[in-house]
Chains A and B, each alone.
Chain A
């Protein structure tokens, strides 16, 4: 639906949602540039990135919206998840409140988002095991109940970061003729190399 196919190229809008400081920008930066910053600037409004992945027979070009996490920015979120093919809901495993916040995002997307949206739940900062407040088991059970796929990630060590995006790319519905490409356009030129990403912050 929201992912559109052109030859073997797929364009997919992806949005990151989650509490402030959960590590949304860090996950994107790791995925797009392979970097990690100890102090990542807080995001205002949202930042846009794009990155292309080769999965099996196709290339998927992600158009990523990294949103601001502070509660009051919530009212801007629909603008970013409207028409999205995929979402990553991020929480910080060392912060129980951020998990509560993540569940609220899940609910909201289930009601308001695109029904075919591929939703991932990412428990980030998995490198901080000694400060853990949310068990992987609890999150896995929740994810199963809600039809999300779940991974614990670390933007710092890079653990599972690319995997989340690959997994989403694999699950994107394809071969369906796009009914209404919301916010998407077909690409008919060859996709850029999978590491040649344009990034904007």
Chain B
């Protein structure tokens, strides 16, 4: 038994493990990051893993951690890719998977209390059995936890019509550093729920949420349009969205090499390079009139309506964006939020990059409100070929730069996006965030080494030139390769 484990309060000891094999499982997330990249300057393998079964366990852990000055990294499903839930400085990982109780339900008010470790898909299934559903949910619902999603901003399908998860949260149970348990409501001005949204587990450990549900819609309908030119797609959506009958969700796809890429991911190769799928949920009237209005818009654009089955299939596959990986071996990419008005600008930038670097790319995104799109751009790489993989990694920063030029910003910070902090938040926002952190966690126990400032190697002064150089080198190699062939 490790020394740290013996120091842990007795009640927590049986919920904890110091087995190296177990701890290794917590030293990574979805990002395929080579071990040597995290080598000496980070301590990604925790010293202990604790799996609490109650908020009291979490409170005991945080009280002890503060006293012993041990870092604690909360973790849901570990299904993010910026190391949000991977320790940067060792310590304890608090795996919240077993805080997964769903209920009690208040079906008159249409609310449910749900443990932070609940898998979102399980919650949706349970709600649907009772005639309700979640107003918004992420594409990763079968993997992610509700607490993890909230801590990472709570954006998802349906946000266009219903707002993000914050809009649905009626109450939040959070354990603060030191072990104080708080139940926060929407009118709490001293400790607003908003502070915790997207805080990446750095202010407190969310243990329970009260969610307002949506009645299962009476009807749904899906319609898809293909565009020759992405600018027309942008224009179509912008104009449509300022009228009535807002869709529940709009997803768009843009590829740099058309059908070939679509075929690689089992989509119809005949689909156009740019298309969007709009999904209408609600009363029969709302769905029918929405689809009619969209069809009426068609005449003003050079646009092709895609067969209904394709639109429906697209929605059915809403959790399966990752099937891209099948054609891997590895996927790299960037998640950004870009103004709808700049989407054509952004995708043109992607096209230029793809051509210059000879790297086909695929971009898809969904609207999170009338003005903004949550966009993911992906390309294939091979993490087993270390050099080319490292060169490819530099393209991720190029994607971010394209987004920044299009007035967008990266989504999430964790560890790997700390070089972009100043682009993601204004100086005022950063100051406010830091003040909150100091107020709630002055000893920097919770999830340290991330979110607020970049570590040495990731400071923009080091990181940006390094990425530029690597990208230049990659381009050079590509050119040489092209000349030879």
**Are A and B co-members of a single complex?**
no
